[in-house]
Amino acid sequence: MFRLPKGVNKLFLDTARLLKRKFYCILLAFLATFSLGAQLDVSRVMTIGRNALYFRDYMVAIGYFNKVLELRPWMAEPYFLRGYAKMMLEDYAGAREDASLALERNAFLGQAYLVRAIANHSLKAYKKASDDYCTALRLSPDDTGIRFNLAGTFYEQKKYAEADSLAQQVPPKTPVYALALLLRGDIALKKGDSIAAMDFARLSLKADSTHAQAYAFMAELFRLQDKYPQAIAQLDKAIALAPDNSALYINRGLLHYMGDSYVKAIEDYNQALLLEPSNSAARYNRALLRSSLGDLNNALEDFQILLAQDTSNDLVRFNTGLLQSQLGDYRTATAQFSKILNKYPDFLPAYMARSEARRKLGDLAGSDRDRYTAYNLQKKQRQVKREEKGKKKEKPTRSEEEKTIEAYQSLIANEDRTLSTETTMPESLRGRVQDRTAKATPMGLYYLTFYIPEEYLAHCKFDARLSEYNSRQLESKTLYSTAQSFPLDSLQTTEATQHLSELDAHILSSPYYYLTRGLYKYALVDLEGALADFERALELNPQFSLALFARATVRCRLIELSASVFSDKSEPNSTADVTTFVLGKKLTPNKNNATKPLDTKTSLQYREIIKDLDTLIKRHPDMSIALYNRALVAERLGDKEAAITYYTQASQLSNAPAEVFFNRGLLYLSLGKKEEAMSDLSRAGEGGLYQAYSILKRIQ
């Protein structure tokens, strides 16, 4: 065995020790420098995030706090601040989760208790909210806002004495004093003391005459006394102060209806729907009034929109059937009535309506059977009618939660008269993106493009395959992947056309060349040409993953394009239709073919798409955009379980796009899994998809 001479060996060991010590010193210095740099970066990012909160740019703030948490997941403050931003966006489930994570890291972060309390309050978890409010109040005993919110949670738990006691403790000349008086008035009304309720309402207005809710409460008190003109006058004042509050128009519309002013009532419902197109109470009431005035087609359109939003709403379905029958669509009406009777076999009006529709269709035997059944039911119900005879007949109303089939002709009354479910958060905030209209439809397929608006670059998901392509610097432009649709403007169209001409003039036998040329063709909507180039790239290099991904995408687009050629103008009306949003562009499927099996050609095309995506996933298990597209294809084919499986696989990757959580959240929602849906939609909003916050607001 070879050995060093003794002296040389000692010298070697001494030198090695010296080098080792120097190495450790250098390493420690490097780590200290790196740590200091990271600290400076984190501090700066936190400062920018706080600045964004100050300017109420909550989505921007969330992005900065996400970056901090990637580096420092043990820090409490970023979780608290991100939770605050989510609360201001009305993502209460996400805010509650972030506040809890902050408190796990620092149990003495008093403001985190307040954020979690407000989130639970808004989610109607009143006991949990009151517990956190109590903790926050112990830490900040002089905070009247916390005291008022705590009173509201006690009110919701029907602890009226405790709520009233806390409201009395709110001192005058504080921002919530007028609200506390109003809450005391509502407590008095709950106890049946309408005189005291009116006194508290007047005191509240004396303390703050600019509070719309106080006028709305006064209007409700007048309505309970059947003083409709006075009630309308109070709501006029409320609307003057809060013209963007759709609930006020709904309530005033109801009062106009009570006073037989149907046209004015419809005008109020029109305004409510302009402010909030998804408001089902306003649309339902407008539909009933339109029907009463003989505007049957527009009434039917309203009911069909409502039925598309909620196919389980039997009151809407029955009204839809009645209007379809009146308009001569007896066969469709009969089908609607049959669905109702399958669920409500003793519902007399449905037998009468179906009997008439069957008679119009010439089905006299079926008509007679229904009429005979109705006659027998009528005999059973005769005693009930005798008991009701002589009672004062009032125009019926119902709460939105009341879904008994007998109330199909009742207008919906907004019964939210109090501030007990409100918190002291500001009502009008810049950055409240959840108020933008967003449809509950999934995001489209990811695709490759050179054209991304600068403000969207932060949301693009880079993939190892994209990085490899861009590193070759084949193009002056960077290649991105996105699920959003960005139509080319005139300048971009000219530029893309020029690039394509240059590529055509210098044909190369390279897979990268054909992929690049195909992408420009795709941008210019030459889908067949793009497909040909992608296939040529794969002929030259069958292992070229980006070309495989691009081919699967363009094939999907071609299927959608062919499906849209003979389509009717319509909106998606169920989760089965959500797959019409592909490549970020909405297509309108043919309703008549929506439930038919795929033809042979389309089936083969989907088989090829699935084959390409499965190959990509097997080759690159970390390619989240391929997993996402595979999930969306499964969803389009109606296989929800497979779609959730692929979305879940994508969600477990570090580079999972926000669209994964958005689409899976909608799938969970369609399956009735509300908690899972809310969690996913919160993650999607956190990832930059503002649409998620709009949907969260509607389902919470």
* Nearest 10 degrees: Cα torsion 540, 541, 542, 545: -130
Specify the range with the lowest mean pLDDT, choosing from 144-153, 257-266, 437-446: 437-446
Q: What's the pLDDT score for residue 328?
A: 94
pLDDT in tens, 310-346: 899 999 999 999 999 999 999 999 999 999 999 999 8
Tokens of 14: 């001494």
Least Cα distance to 590 among 607, 577, 604, 575 occurs for 577
User: Beta-carbon neighbour count of residue 196 at 10 Å?
Assistant: 15
∠ CA 505-508-512 to the nearest 5 degrees?
115
**Higher pLDDT, residue 500 or 568:** 500
Mean pLDDT, residues 499-503: 87
Tokens of 85: 């931003």
Mean pLDDT (the chain, rounded) = 81
pLDDT in tens, 223-257: 999 999 999 999 999 998 888 889 999 999 999 99
Q: What's the pLDDT score for residue 500?
A: 85
Mean pLDDT, residues 212-222: 91
Q: What's the pLDDT score for residue 592?
A: 36
Q: What's the pLDDT score for residue 374?
A: 86
User: Which alpha helices (H) appear in 55-91, and where do they start and end?
Assistant: 58-71, 77-88
Distance CA 20, CA 595 (A): 73
User: Which domains are assigned to the chain?
Assistant: 42-141 (1.25.40.10), 447-565+596-699 (1.25.40.10)
440: pLDDT confidence band, cut at 50, 70 and 90?
low
Q: What's the pLDDT score for residue 298?
A: 94
Q: What's the pLDDT score for residue 160?
A: 92
Q: What's the pLDDT score for residue 406?
A: 85
Residue with token string 């509050």: 245
Mean pLDDT, residues 394-404: 72
Residue 531 has pLDDT above 90, yes or no: yes
In total, the chain counts a number of residues equal to 700
Mean pLDDT, residues 613-620: 94
pTM (2 d.p.): 0.59
- The amino acid sitting at 197 is A
pLDDT in tens, 416-434: 544 444 555 422 223 444 4
pLDDT in tens, 135-178: 988 988 888 888 999 999 999 999 999 999 999 998 888 888 88
pLDDT in tens, 332-342: 999 999 999 99
pLDDT in tens, 274-283: 999 989 999 9
Tokens of 517: 């040329």
Share of the chain above pLDDT 70, in %: 80
Q: Which residues pair with 398 in a beta bridge?
A: 412
Q: What's the pLDDT score for residue 27?
A: 39
Tokens of 383: 């005693």
Residue 183 has pLDDT above 60, yes or no: yes
Q: Report the relative pairing of strands 411-412 and 397-398 from DSSP bridges.
A: parallel
Distance CA 486, CA 215 (A): 46
Residue with token string 């006029």: 236
Residue 411 φ then ψ, to 5°: -70, 155
Residue 208 · residue 188 · CB < 8 Å: no
Residue with token string 């709403």: 313
Distance CA 457, CA 484 (A): 11
User: Beta-carbon neighbour count of residue 563 at 10 Å?
Assistant: 18
Q: Report the relative pairing of strands 480-482 and 447-449 from DSSP bridges.
A: antiparallel
